Structure 1
Amino acid sequence: MTGIISPANVDLSPIGNCTVSALVDAEGAFVWACAPRPDSDPLFCALLNDAPADAAEARGCWTITLADGVSSTQAYLPNTAILRTELTDSHGASVEILDFCPRYRQLDRIYRPTAYVRMVRPLKGSPRITVRLRPTCDYGGYPAQATAGSNHIRYDCSNLTLRLSTNCPVSHIADERTFRLEQDLAFFLGPDEPFGGEIEAGARHMLSRTEAYWREWVRTLAIPLDWQSAVIRAAIGLKLCVYEETGAIIAAMTTSLPESAGSGRNWDYRYCWLRDAYYVIQALTRLGAMDILENYLGYLRNIVSQAGGGRIQPVYGVGYEARLTERTAPDLAGYRGMGPVRVGNQASEHDQFDVYGQIVLSSVHAFFDERLLRRGSMADFEALEEVGEQAFALHDQPDAGLWEFRTRASIHTYSAVMCWAACDRLGNAAEVLGLPDRAELWNNRAKTIRARIEKDAWNADVGRFAASFGGEETDASLLQLIDLRFIKPDDPRHLATLKGLEADLRKGSYFLRYSNPDDFGRPETAFNFCTFWFIEALKLVGRDEEARELFVEMLNRRTRAGLLSEDIAFEGGELWGNYPQTYSLVGLINCAVLLSRPWSSVR
């Protein structure tokens, strides 16, 4: 609490407004934030800096520290993305910090600027604080150039210029001076333009409007009776991973947080995986978050049109970019010094044929849901048929699979089942559109794919489905055959497969994606989303008590912010991987909905 940057960990709290976001540590330091887009050069990169203990040498951070500080407490304002941190010093003096990104309706549109607001006020005693604002450029390569005005500081970064407007004496910030906090201070780091009006009053207005926005959004959610606060926090976390300008949904806010210590499994997740986004939409639609669904369907329509009936990648940039060339950032040491730090993702070059199913499954909702402002049209259906043609043509071809193996390909069962689902759901859409000939065509294609899967994915020697055609390896994605309606929970083939998966992939309370070595050796951590898949499977076969016990265990592994990363250690339960991970939050929501008591039980 004396200006020391905490050792890197994922116990971080996100703020954001669906344009930009930031991750804030337990002491109120901004340690990660990218602007003007979630996949941009980070303004604050201390999370991957392996920052020294001496804050005087730290870079890529924004800290507000309390002299002689000894403790901190932190929590969100209820049902919002507004974070409150309270710092206390050794003399009992304390301060409050409120952090948020403005978001509210203004002039018949949503105001969500590339901006961060910090409000600081003394609570008790005579606190002395130091403000250190140190944005960096080119992935930690050099500090942003700062130019001070009378009541602002301009920061020239590699891809944008931001202006800090404040009622704090500018020299206090420029010189990083320690001073007594005797009045409420406001900091608005945003577009390089004059701040309209008085800064402290303006910040309070933004705070009030932003708080009202988030509370109203949460009020529209159809949440389960049990675990309400956990579901609300997960839903807000998912919404913060939306880039509303285009409707894209990123897989996580970070890059290169390793899946396990020193593993080299460091990936950039700040892009829109169509698979991940499908699961996000599935979960949020169950909660009634139609705004995110509708916006994402627009993103998908652009991706499908861009493909023109040809190959569709598994991942795109938030602005529909197809080229995501992977490179390393040499000036960042990595999380706890565990490089490399990667920018871009080679997965954009992979063949992953499950994506055709995820596009169709996400999109056909528009033909059935009358709440949507833009319902599915005949033109939309015809465009989806092009996607279906690809699914049918590729269902029995080798690909990299949903786990994105980099050096080998197989005919993956999950990919084939997703292609089956694409054809099956196109048949459903054709029926509702009154197109019996097209319905018959797609239903027949679905039957053809089903027959192939049942013949080649079923391994009679081991008595269960295998992860690939003609193989015998296990894979947690086989649990999704129930969710996709390919097989019923009480089917003996599913029960046999579940038994085999549990024997091979369950490690205590957690579940692996797979156990066979991959490009980087054997997995050393469990995959949180797969643990939630397993919990769902337990519930659906009647192992209710066990399912609830494992779910509570996962809830206990969340960060202070109520969120989860991608992976978890078998021993000790430490979180690893990129954060917050949309997959994991989806699993939390889906399990809470499935396991909760019905509302009718308390009425």
Structure 2
Amino acid sequence: MTPTQGPPPRIQDLGLLSNRRSAALVTSLAEVVWYCPGRFDAPSLLARLLDDERGGSWAVDLPGAAPAGRRYLGDGGHLESMLQTGENGEALTITDFMPFGEGLPCGLCRVFSLAPQAYRLVLKAAPDYARRAVTLSHDGAGMQIDGQHWLYASHPPEVVGDSVVIQVPVGEAAWAFLSDERLEQLDWETVTRWREASLLNWQTLTVHATYHGPYEEAVRASLRALRLLTDHVGHATIAAPTTSLPEVLGGEKNWDYRYVWLRDAGMVVSALTRAGGDGSEGRAFLEFICAWAKPQGDLPAPPFLTVDGGRPPEETELELAGYGGSRPVRIGNGARGQLQLDAYGNVLLAAKLIYERFGTREHWGIIERLAEFLCEHWQDDDYGIWEERRKQPYVAGKVLTAVALEYIAEHSEEPQQAARWRAAAGAARKWVGAHALNSEGAYAYVAGEEGVDLTAALYPVWGFCAPDSPEMLATMAALERDHCQDHLYWRFLADNDPCQEGAFLAGTLWVAQYWVMRDPARARAILDAVLAYAGDLGQLPEMADPRTHEALGNVPQTFVHAALVGVVVDLAEAERAQHPT
């Protein structure tokens, strides 16, 4: 019988698996359509998500199956999915997990309940982003795949064409493990031990940050996403586990987000520090940045890093068909050498949070270096928060420089240094007042131009200005008029038509965070509009199209989830202040 596969995967249907080293994505029909073994940015072994024909997947071939619900077991990375078959409502329950913890093997494990009818597991591997033909051979109790991976199972695997197929008879339970190393004979007892140990390790980790209040389930899902996408060795949080999921279907803005952005630091550290718990996770992320953010050319630190602190590879294109035909498919990222003033400002904001929480000045040498750079270079043109392709005087970088220097000056022990930083912050503020307003009196995206970007919604959140200042009222009016549909907001980009991408969910949440300051009910309406794209597992993509209700962009994106936590924490505080008990 020829191996079969399900319908093309959709972004809003994906569920994330992780062992905090690498990640996989699985559909509601329990098909693994993306898997990068070993580390988050490793070449994929399964990539049907980016090429329906050649990309490879691990499917459950259960005739007549339909999704019947799924859930995470607790706050960790074990995903339980149900497939229903037949008119009598019989279901197959699948528990997918990647063993997490010291002493556990690296790989992807699948455990199946008693089969309501016979089915097959079909693994079609496509090594190195489908750039190599797969080799398959029996190796002891397992099947060797591409000379680097092994498939072990409760039922004997067989080669069918270019796939590995496992037949499971009716009435029998099953397990299968796709391993990154050769193992001895596996059995139910071993797999069960891995499962229990991994669940316990997740439970131990998730006590570090808790939250109780409005939107509690959404915050839990967001904290889960942040943890699943944080490397367990260096504690670095990547932007997303995927590459090249399009910002608009059929478009060319398809980027590799499997790296660690300094720009994300302020928001991610804030989410992990302010959501209850002991704050250790946010502190660990700042430690990673300060350990690896070394000078690069004329920059005090690169704008983003790999999970082991290295420099991401140069941007290259792959011969994959792309999600929904959206090409090119890219690996690496061409923004790796850009000057982004906001990146360093965000690290200073993260340090401020940690210093205030723990009463320390840890990593002061690195923080001092970044502050000195901003003090001396805040007037420089840069590539902006959205990694544009040409340098310009982007206003957000100047605003963030001003507030970051003001905040971090409070922690300097050298009066002359603190005074110099404050003087630079004051000069940046004066420059913004003189150059950053458009003809309507709103904050422009680029000084001297008319366009307004939703980044400006953060200016009062950062403490740069009052939420009801004339400039902010004009800015928000422009955003509502030019960049909003159904409570979702688009970015303004200097070099691109905004129609070339979907509504930007992190920025939409920044607008909600602004409205927390003035009208919490309006903030809730915006938050609810974003959560409509969270799917059944609460995982948010980078973008969405309110016209088609399609999720867009890389998923799940930690920037969006961190923004959601920030909105909800602020909302909870505002509503408590409105209605004290």
TM (normalized to structure 1)?
Answer: 0.88
Aligned residue number for residue 515 of structure 2: 538
Q: Give the secondary-structure state (helix, strand or coil) at the position aligned to 1:243.
A: coil
Tell me how far apart the structure 1 counterparts of residues 569 and 352 of structure 2 sit (CA, whole Å).
22
Structure 2 residue ranges without an equivalent (≥5) = none
Query: Mapping of 1:41-56 within 5 angstroms?
Result: 41-51=43-53
Cα distance change on mapping 1:222 and 1:138 into 2, 3 Å: closer
Cα distance change on mapping 1:527 and 1:310 into 2, 3 Å: closer
1:317 Cα offset (Å): 1.9
Q: Give the secondary-structure state (helix, strand or coil) at the position aligned to 1:465.
A: coil
Tell me how far apart the structure 2 counterparts of residues 180 and 36 of structure 1 sit (CA, whole Å).
32
Aligned residue number for residue 24 of structure 2: 22
1:370 Cα offset (Å): 2.5
Aligned residue number for residue 151 of structure 2: 164
Q: Give the secondary-structure state (helix, strand or coil) at the position aligned to 1:261.
A: coil
Aligned residue number for residue 133 of structure 1: 123
Mapped contact 1:63–1:133 kept (Cα < 8 A): yes
Q: Does structure 1 residue 86 correspond to structure 2 residue 82?
A: yes
Q: Give the secondary-structure state (helix, strand or coil) at the position aligned to 2:82.
A: strand
For 1:168, the aligned partner's letter is H
Q: CA RMSD in A?
A: 2.6
The CA deviation string for residues 263-314 of structure 1, in whole angstroms up to 9 with x for no partner, is 2111111111111233222212111463432322222123333549844222
The CA deviation string for residues 93-113 of structure 1, in whole angstroms up to 9 with x for no partner, is 432110011224xxxxx4564
For 1:43, the aligned partner's letter is L
Q: Does structure 1 residue 384 correspond to structure 2 residue 374?
A: no
For 1:46, the aligned partner's letter is R
Cα distance change on mapping 1:31 and 1:130 into 2, 3 Å: same
Tell me how far apart the structure 1 counterparts of residues 104 and 230 of structure 2 sit (CA, whole Å).
12
Query: Pick from 477, 484, 497: which aligns with 2:475?
Result: 497
Aligned residue number for residue 525 of structure 1: 502
1:172 Cα offset (Å): 7.9
The CA deviation string for residues 333-386 of structure 1, in whole angstroms up to 9 with x for no partner, is 110222211011101132222112122222344433338xxx534xx3233222
Q: Give the secondary-structure state (helix, strand or coil) at the position aligned to 2:25.
A: strand
1:212 Cα offset (Å): 2.9
Tell me how far apart the structure 2 counterparts of residues 7 and 221 of structure 1 sit (CA, whole Å).
36
Mapped contact 2:55–2:129 kept (Cα < 8 A): no
Tell me how far apart the structure 2 counterparts of residues 310 and 487 of structure 1 sit (CA, whole Å).
29
Mapped contact 2:17–2:23 kept (Cα < 8 A): yes
Mapped contact 2:487–2:529 kept (Cα < 8 A): yes
Query: Mapping of 1:114-513 within 5 angstroms?
Result: 114-122=106-114, 125=116, 127-156=117-146, 161-171=148-158, 176=165, 178-195=167-184, 198-288=186-276, 290-307=279-296, 310-330=299-319, 332-370=320-358, 375-377=360-362, 380-406=363-389, 408-430=390-412, 434-459=413-438, 461-513=439-491
The CA deviation string for residues 121-172 of structure 1, in whole angstroms up to 9 with x for no partner, is 216x4x1111112222121123432221332122236xxx222232222338
Mapped contact 2:491–2:498 kept (Cα < 8 A): no
Aligned residue number for residue 107 of structure 1: none
Aligned residue number for residue 570 of structure 2: 594
Q: Give the secondary-structure state (helix, strand or coil) at the position aligned to 2:92.
A: strand
Cα distance change on mapping 1:216 and 1:421 into 2, 3 Å: same
- How much identity, in percent, do the aligned residues show? 25
For 1:122, the aligned partner's letter is L
1:74 Cα offset (Å): 2.0
Mapped contact 1:3–1:66 kept (Cα < 8 A): no
Aligned residue number for residue 96 of structure 1: 93
The CA deviation string for residues 405-449 of structure 1, in whole angstroms up to 9 with x for no partner, is 12x32111101122223322321111xxx4333322322222222
Query: Pick from 577, 585, 594: which aligns with 2:553?
Result: 577
Mapped contact 2:60–2:121 kept (Cα < 8 A): yes
The CA deviation string for residues 380-410 of structure 1, in whole angstroms up to 9 with x for no partner, is 323322211211222112111111112x321
1:3 Cα offset (Å): 3.9
1:577 Cα offset (Å): 0.7
1:593 Cα offset (Å): 2.0
1:84 Cα offset (Å): 0.9
Q: Give the secondary-structure state (helix, strand or coil) at the position aligned to 1:74.
A: strand
Mapped contact 2:155–2:166 kept (Cα < 8 A): no
Mapped contact 1:224–1:599 kept (Cα < 8 A): no
Mapped contact 1:32–1:44 kept (Cα < 8 A): yes
Tell me how far apart the structure 1 counterparts of residues 142 and 580 of structure 2 sit (CA, whole Å).
55
Q: Give the secondary-structure state (helix, strand or coil) at the position aligned to 1:369.
A: helix
Q: Give the secondary-structure state (helix, strand or coil) at the position aligned to 2:175.
A: strand
Cα distance change on mapping 1:349 and 1:429 into 2, 3 Å: same
Aligned residue number for residue 565 of structure 1: 541
Q: Which moved more, 1:254-263 or 1:286-295?
A: 286-295
Mapped contact 1:218–1:232 kept (Cα < 8 A): no
Mapped contact 1:333–1:339 kept (Cα < 8 A): yes
Mapped contact 1:65–1:130 kept (Cα < 8 A): yes
Tell me how far apart the structure 1 counterparts of residues 367 and 75 of structure 2 sit (CA, whole Å).
37
Cα distance change on mapping 1:283 and 1:205 into 2, 3 Å: same
Mapped contact 2:243–2:329 kept (Cα < 8 A): yes
Q: Give the secondary-structure state (helix, strand or coil) at the position aligned to 1:538.
A: helix
Mapped contact 2:61–2:119 kept (Cα < 8 A): yes
1:469 Cα offset (Å): 2.1
1:49 Cα offset (Å): 0.9
Structure 1 residue ranges without an equivalent (≥5) = 52-57, 105-109
Would you say how many aligned residue pairs link Structure 1 and Structure 2? 572
Mapped contact 2:268–2:282 kept (Cα < 8 A): no
Mapped contact 1:8–1:336 kept (Cα < 8 A): no
Q: Which moved more, 1:253-262 or 1:276-285?
A: 276-285
Q: Give the secondary-structure state (helix, strand or coil) at the position aligned to 2:267.
A: helix
Q: Give the secondary-structure state (helix, strand or coil) at the position aligned to 2:110.
A: strand
Q: Give the secondary-structure state (helix, strand or coil) at the position aligned to 1:171.
A: strand
1:234 Cα offset (Å): 1.2
Mapped contact 1:416–1:449 kept (Cα < 8 A): yes
Mapped contact 1:166–1:188 kept (Cα < 8 A): yes
For 2:71, the aligned partner's letter is A
1:500 Cα offset (Å): 2.4
Tell me how far apart the structure 1 counterparts of residues 494 and 294 of structure 2 sit (CA, whole Å).
38
Tell me how far apart the structure 1 counterparts of residues 305 and 484 of structure 2 sit (CA, whole Å).
32
1:253 Cα offset (Å): 0.8
The CA deviation string for residues 194-222 of structure 1, in whole angstroms up to 9 with x for no partner, is 24x75211211222222233344444433
Tell me how far apart the structure 2 counterparts of residues 140 and 43 of structure 1 sit (CA, whole Å).
8
Cα distance change on mapping 1:29 and 1:593 into 2, 3 Å: same
Tell me how far apart the structure 2 counterparts of residues 482 and 217 of structure 1 sit (CA, whole Å).
34
Cα distance change on mapping 1:521 and 1:547 into 2, 3 Å: closer
